[in-house]
């Protein structure tokens, strides 16, 4: 996997999620969990509920941006609901 788009949810705050993309998912998740990422620090602990793999940074970034739009948020919420975790 060269690039990944991922969705995180908070295990302490209902209806909170985060969408990101990275070339190193393991390290990025560690950064989120350790509090190095300001936007997710207050919502820890976090759980990855979805991962999509892409060959290019541009593809991954475009998908991340889409999931942050109105229609994309609807799709993201369906993905989270279907994950069985929430």
Phi first, then psi: what are they for 34, rounded to 5°? -85, -10
Tens digit of each residue's pLDDT (9 = 90 or more) over 19-52: 999 999 999 999 999 999 999 999 999 999 999 9
Tens digit of each residue's pLDDT (9 = 90 or more) over 16-28: 999 999 999 999 9
Residue identified by tokens 């390290």 is 27
Task: Output the pTM of the full model.
Answer: 0.95
Which domains does the chain possess? 3-82 (3.40.1440)
Residues 45/33, Cβ–Cβ less than 8 Å: yes
Segment 67-80 shows an average pLDDT of 97
């Amino acid at each position: 996997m060269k690039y990944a788009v991922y969705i995180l949810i908070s295990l302490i705050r209902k209806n909170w999620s985060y969408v990101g993309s990275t070339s190193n998912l393991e390290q990025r998740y560690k950064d989120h969990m350790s509090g190095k990422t300001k936007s997710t620090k207050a919502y820890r602990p976090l759980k990855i509920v979805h991962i999509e793999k892409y060959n290019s940074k541009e593809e991954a970034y475009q998908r991340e941006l889409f999931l942050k739009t109105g229609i994309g948020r609807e799709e993201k919420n369906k993905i989270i609901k279907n994950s069985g975790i929430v």
